[in-house]
Amino acid sequence: MQIWLSRCKRTLLLSFVTLYLFSCNAVHLISEYDEVTDKSITALQEKVSSFFVDMSENLGTEKANYIHYQPFYREVKIKLTTLQIRANAMEKNEITQEQLRALKQLMSDLEAMHKTGLPNQATLDISEQACNRAFTAILKLQLALKRGKH
């Protein structure tokens, strides 16, 4: 009986220690905050915002033609591809990966529309709002990760 009680105490103690150790370890279901992504996406958002301001000022003039903005689109593609590769290299980063894919598609659609000629300010405004929503979603996630809310 004495041996049986001793074994029960050891088993119970071992169970409590195991439970305690597992409860002290945080389980991360999403990647950690990435300062490079945060800063890069903020810089890219500023560049895209600048594009929309320029386009609003020049819409309907020769200055708004696609040919003048080819370097902008090239730079955005490079930055988004770089961010996408970085996001793909990080574990548990599927949400950011999808957000970047969506933003890349938005920018690709904007470029295709620009090639054929942006029709009016309303169309430009809709594109800007869509881009702003995409950037906001990415930044909200990064800021939440920075605060440790994941």
Res 31: pLDDT: 87
The domain segmentation of the chain, as residue ranges, is: 35-147
Task: Show Cβ contacts of residue 106 under 8 Å, excluding neighbours closer than 6 positions.
Answer: 127, 130, 131, 134
Res 1: pLDDT: 58
Res 140: pLDDT: 95
Token pair 């950690």 is at which residue?
Answer: 32
Res 99: pLDDT: 96
Sign (positive or negative) of CA dihedral 109, 114, 119, 123: positive
Classify residue 37 by burial, with Cβ atoms within 10 Å: 0-12, 13-18, 19+.
buried
| Intervals of the chain under pLDDT 50 | 5, 27
Res 11: pLDDT: 72
20-59: pLDDT as tens digits: 555 555 545 678 999 999 999 999 999 999 999 999 999 9
Query: Is the whole model's pTM more than 0.85, yes or no?
Result: no
Res 17: pLDDT: 56
Task: Show Cβ contacts of residue 114 under 8 Å, excluding neighbours closer than 6 positions.
Answer: 66, 69, 73
